[in-house]
């Protein structure tokens, strides 16, 4: 690969390139959330040129599948969009690192998907390749979410791999997340006559005290330890420097293990904050890793036999909602996601591709 910057935006993808070079080509396709169409068009063209795949499209979401009648079907999924470009396109190579917007999140994973689609015409499992839009923006625009509601049959499978960046480690399932708002009320008064009022900010002391005393669970699922967390993430109150405030709002985020449902999580929060008004403002369920499934066991064996829990939330939860166990496994470095100097280590791209290819051909 050349370290020189690409002189122009490509119009087509070359699936004969190695994973690193293909990642660079993908990065050189600007595809900020909401502007994925040129890249989605190129992905569709490249996949339709492969005779062993059936290709469907909905909006800027492209789904390709083998139809070989295998005993198992596996989904390999990745999003096409990136966060806004920060003077980091076109891509560039320095040593063994590829720099550019989306290198880690997650065009290196998409490159691996495309390489496998091109090089495995007869895998040992039927494969479904899912490329979707608008992952980096609000959940209502998420292309995978739209496929779940409008074409769940396109996503039917025994196991799914989301190629989000994990530095080549298997991360099982994901934790759920819930945000609540606790609104504390008081009585407004002049600060010079505070006895005539009731300070709402002072009422937050008990809420914060319960948080400080809270001991989060650690729970093991399929051999993976998930660590829950309950934390205040915002607090607002105050009217003016001479006014006793009559309202204070505390926002709390609960990251919970995937053995809890959203209903379980909400019930737990209402128990923790009994006596206070609890309003759920945001909720996304977790995903069980499903590492006891045959496909998952084979996957772990092929990728080194070890996995770790996913503490954040990812789109594997959408597969879990369909009854499809899923893991995160991709070449990108999640610590570099969204940064101006975002990069991906080139050797890891090849390593992830080799491990997946071995699993799908042995």
Active site residues: 81, 135
Q: What's the rounded Cα separation, in Å, for the pair 257 and 203?
A: 30
> Using an 8 Å Cβ cutoff, are 182 and 253 in contact?
no
Residue 87: strand, helix, or coil: coil
Cα 181–Cα 182–Cα 186 angle in degrees, nearest 5: 140
Residue 24's nearest CA partner among 110, 85, 87, 86 is: 110
- Tokens coding 142: 């998420």
Residue 75's nearest CA partner among 92, 84, 63 is: 63
Q: Tell me whether strands 247-256 and 218-221 are parallel, antiparallel or unpaired.
A: unpaired
Residue 34: strand, helix, or coil: coil
> Using an 8 Å Cβ cutoff, are 80 and 47 in contact?
no
The answer to whether the Cα torsion of 147, 149, 153, 156 is positive or negative is: positive
Q: What's the rounded Cα separation, in Å, for the pair 19 and 108?
A: 7
Residues with Cβ within 8 Å of residue 303, at least 6 apart in sequence: 170, 329, 355, 356, 359
Q: Tell me whether strands 159-162 and 326-328 are parallel, antiparallel or unpaired.
A: parallel
Q: What's the rounded Cα separation, in Å, for the pair 286 and 96?
A: 35
Residue 265: strand, helix, or coil: helix
Residues with Cβ within 8 Å of residue 129, at least 6 apart in sequence: 47, 53, 63, 64, 65, 75, 76, 77, 113, 114, 116, 117
Q: What's the rounded Cα separation, in Å, for the pair 104 and 344?
A: 5
């Amino acid at each position: 690969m050349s370290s020189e910057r690409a002189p122009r935006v490509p119009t087509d993808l070359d699936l004969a390139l190695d994973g690193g070079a293909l990642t660079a080509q993908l990065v050189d396709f600007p595809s900020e959330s909401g502007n994925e169409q040129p890249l989605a068009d190129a992905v569709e063209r490249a996949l339709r040129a492969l005779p062993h795949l059936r290709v469907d499209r909905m909006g800027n979401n492209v789904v390709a599948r083998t139809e070989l009648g295998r005993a198992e079907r596996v989904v390999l999924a990745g999003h096409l969009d990136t966060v806004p470009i920060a003077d980091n396109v076109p891509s560039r190579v320095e040593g063994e690192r590829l720099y550019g917007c989306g290198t880690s999140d997650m065009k290196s994973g998409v490159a691996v998907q495309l390489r496998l689609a091109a090089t495995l015409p007869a895998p040992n499992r039927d494969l479904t390749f899912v490329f979707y839009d608008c992952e980096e923006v609000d959940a209502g625009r998420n292309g995978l979410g739209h496929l779940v509601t409008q074409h769940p049959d396109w996503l039917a499978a025994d196991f799914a791999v989301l190629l989000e960046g994990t530095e080549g480690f298997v991360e099982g399932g994901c934790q759920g997340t819930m945000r609540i708002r606790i609104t504390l009320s008081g009585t407004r008064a002049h600060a010079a006559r505070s006895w005539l009022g009731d300070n709402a900010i002072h009422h937050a002391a008990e809420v914060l005290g319960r948080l400080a005393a809270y001991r989060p669970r650690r729970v093991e699922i399929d051999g993976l330890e998930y660590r829950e967390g309950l934390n205040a993430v915002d607090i607002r109150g105050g009217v003016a420097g001479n006014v006793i405030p009559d309202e204070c709002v505390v926002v709390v985020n609960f990251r919970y293990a995937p053995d809890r449902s959203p209903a379980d999580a909400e019930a737990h929060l209402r128990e923790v904050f009994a006596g206070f008004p609890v309003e759920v403002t945001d909720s996304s369920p977790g995903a069980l890793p499903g590492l006891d499934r045959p496909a998952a066991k084979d996957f772990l064996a092929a990728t080194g036999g070890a996995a770790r829990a996913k503490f954040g939330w990812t789109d594997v939860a959408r597969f879990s909602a369909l009854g499809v166990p899923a893991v995160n496994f991709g070449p990108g470095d999640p610590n570099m996601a969204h940064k101006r100097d975002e990069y991906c280590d080139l050797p890891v791209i090849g390593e992830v591709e080799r491990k997946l290819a071995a699993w799908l051909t042995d």
